[in-house]
Amino acid sequence: MGSIVGSIVWTILAALADLSNASTASLPSYPLAVKNPYLSAWVPGNSVNDSAHAQPEFWAGQSLTWIVLGRVNGQTYSLFGNTEDIGNATAATTDLVSFTSSHTFVELSAGPAKITLDFFSPVLPRKEQYSYQSLPYSYLTVTGASSDGDEIDLQILSAIDQTWTAQHGAAGLNYSTYETAGFFQFHNPSEILFTEDSDMATYGSVIFGTTVVGFDREHAINYLNETQTGLHRTRWPTVGEAISFFLEDYTSAYKTSVTFDAEVRSKSESVSDVFGSQYADIVEASVRQTFGSMDLTVPMDDLNATPQVFLKEISSDGNINTVDVIFQTWPIFISLNPEYIKLVWEPIMSYQASGRWPKDFVIHDMGTHYPNATGHDDGREEDMPLFETSSLFILFYAYQKYTNDTSWAEQYSNLLKGYADYLVDNSLYPSSQLISVDSIRGYANQTALAMQSAMGLKAASILLNNDTYAEAAASYATKIYDEALGLDGSSVENSTHFTYYYGQNDTWNVVFAAYSDVLLELDTFPSAAWEMQSSWYLDQMQDLGLPFAGPADHLKYTGSALTWGLSDWNIVAAAASSEAVQEAVINTTHAFLTNNLNDIPFGTKYHVEGPNAGRWISNRARSTVGLDFALVALKHGTW
């Protein structure tokens, strides 16, 4: 375990621990301190029911030491993370675990005391809150009260060690003060900037003080070989200043979170009287995970520059600002702040406009591995030509529609025209290529890919005020739907669904791009198309969800039996489908999320049928759960 650094945490007034709106749904893993790709601490749901001995983990599964002890009237109790029973403490009893969008609460009984641990990672998405959101810190506060009315004496010790650093003992430990704030700092002066070990940062400093844990990286991102630093440094240039502010701001941050969390819950529940509560659980479980995949930054040599967002493709290959991952995240931005679409796209657009990207279609990502956004000047990457290019237009238009800002599209109009021309030339009969679900082979003539490309062209026509692109979109949509090129029958009247591939009438997949057409009112395809697809989805629904594609045994295309679904794409497709589909998808997703069979941060790919039904397969802790906002964004737009 190595040396442990501890801090006395004074108990906060119990009146601040408002648990009235917290969900008690079981999660596979609960967020503890989740603010960016490197400050991402979780506790598996199957261990937190014995909080005293629970083993916290980094999102990728590495064990983290975080011990919380409480002394009640002189008797020491283990409250959290004491896996080795240090100090011969008595284990407190876990009474309840609950969560909101910003908080995870663990309620315990320790002798005559009722104690609540509040793991609080502020989510502050508004424009005026960017510098606050950028702060790479989270809170742990503790509330205590007597269970029998008698006065109690309560002291708390919270402690971490070098397991948070990925330095394997190489980080030194220092104690610093700034004004009234004192904090410990794990740091290796021989660090190598912008490096990782198994997804954990091997540079920067782990910060720990009183109620705060954090991971500070002055050199946050390598963007085209120039350093980006956290946006918070524009207001709090040093760690000491930032920590001091963060500690002082607790009460304000808490009150803001209560309002924010209640709004997320109430608006999500309002989506349906039938499944609104289940849907709200899903949405709340998605908030910290989404924002915890990003860094808000500015150039280190120009702190007055417009901020940018860098997003890690977590739990797959670690790419940075992956276009299809952004497209799997965006509904949360519509709800909470559409400007995030611009902030995360701007590093990509600036690079493409520089002329360094050599291909005619949109780049897949800005770098092979976070935090290095160094581009692909040689053109070598995981190409997804139509998917990424159509995604660009859909998201550009989403930003414009929800902000009324046309200047961004005007700024890049020449670049956009070239990409729109690419869609005109290549969309109707897609060549062999991948889509975002790259575990399925990239064969030619994918129906949904052609459909998404047509939607991209419709968006391009609005962005560029060019009817030619709208005419092309309408022509392609007519062929795909009205003339049944992409249907399983010879006409609309005798068809039941869109095919996965033209001419392969028994194939199908989840047409998630339908959501873009509906939300943005592009109307590239008629509502009858989505009604037809809704009926098909209901017929394909399995006990624990909708498979991503079928038939399950069509191995020529899938390579293996396709008995799995993707919860995020299912929800976004359901949002453009009938209420019956929405109910089925939300209920099965909720069942998967809360079934206690899994122990990872909200995974999205799982078995929907067969002996392993309900078990997670891959994709965890990803920002793509931002898609879970699809229904509430459709109902309420931007809040």
Q: Which residues, at least 6 apart from 355, have a Cβ–Cβ distance to it below 8 Å?
A: none
Residue-wise pLDDT for 56-111, tens only, equals 999 999 999 999 999 999 999 999 999 999 988 999 999 999 999 999 999 999 99
Angle ∠(226,361,446) on CA atoms, nearest 5: 130
Residue-wise pLDDT for 128-144, tens only, equals 999 999 999 999 999 99
The mean pLDDT of 463-469, rounded to a whole number, is 99
**Structure token digits, residue 138:** 């989270």
Residue-wise pLDDT for 177-187, tens only, equals 999 999 999 99
DSSP-based three-state secondary structure for 249: coil
Q: Which residues, at least 6 apart from 439, have a Cβ–Cβ distance to it below 8 Å?
A: none
Distance (Å, rounded) from C-alpha 375 to C-alpha 401?
29
Q: Which residues, at least 6 apart from 411, have a Cβ–Cβ distance to it below 8 Å?
A: none
* Whether pLDDT at 10 is above 60: no
* pLDDT greater at residue 150 or residue 489: 489
On whether the CB atoms of residues 230 and 295 are closer than 8 A, the answer is yes
* Whether pLDDT at 212 is above 50: yes
Task: Select from 570, 549, 545 the least CA-distant residue to 625.
Answer: 570
* Whether pLDDT at 15 is above 50: no
3-state helix/strand/coil string of 570-594: HHHHHHCCCHHHHHHHHHHHHHHHC
pLDDT band at residue 16 using 50, 70 and 90 as cut-offs: low
**Structure token digits, residue 57:** 């983990």
Q: Supply the pLDDT for residue 401.
A: 99
DSSP string, 377-422: TT--S---HHHHHHHHHHHHHHHHHHH---HHHHHTHHHHHHHHHH
Amino acid code (one letter) for 374 = T
On whether the CB atoms of residues 548 and 585 are closer than 8 A, the answer is no
Distance (Å, rounded) from C-alpha 48 to C-alpha 601?
13
Residue 345 CA, chain-centre distance (Å), reads 16
Q: Is the peptide bond prior to 551 cis by the omega test (within 30 degrees of 0)?
A: yes
465 sits in the region (left: phi over 0; alpha: psi -120 to 50; else beta) called left
On whether the CB atoms of residues 125 and 340 are closer than 8 A, the answer is yes
Residue-wise pLDDT for 225-276, tens only, equals 999 999 999 999 999 999 999 999 999 999 999 999 999 999 999 999 999 9
CATH number of 306-636: 1.50.10.10
DSSP string, 285-303: HHHHHHHTTEEEEEETT-T
Distance (Å, rounded) from C-alpha 588 to C-alpha 579?
14
Distance (Å, rounded) from C-alpha 93 to C-alpha 70?
12
| DSSP label at residue 92 | P
Tokens 């047409």 sit on residue: 511
Distance (Å, rounded) from C-alpha 297 to C-alpha 136?
11
* Whether pLDDT at 476 is above 60: yes
353 sits in the region (left: phi over 0; alpha: psi -120 to 50; else beta) called alpha
Distance (Å, rounded) from C-alpha 299 to C-alpha 66?
33
Distance (Å, rounded) from C-alpha 564 to C-alpha 35?
30
Q: Supply the pLDDT for residue 1.
A: 43
Residue-wise pLDDT for 167-203, tens only, equals 988 999 999 999 999 999 999 999 999 999 999 999 9
In the chain, what are the domain boundaries? 4-259, 306-636
Domain 4-259 architecture: Distorted Sandwich (2.70)
Query: What are the φ/ψ torsions at residue 453 (nearest 5 degrees)?
Result: -65, -40
Distance (Å, rounded) from C-alpha 399 to C-alpha 74?
58
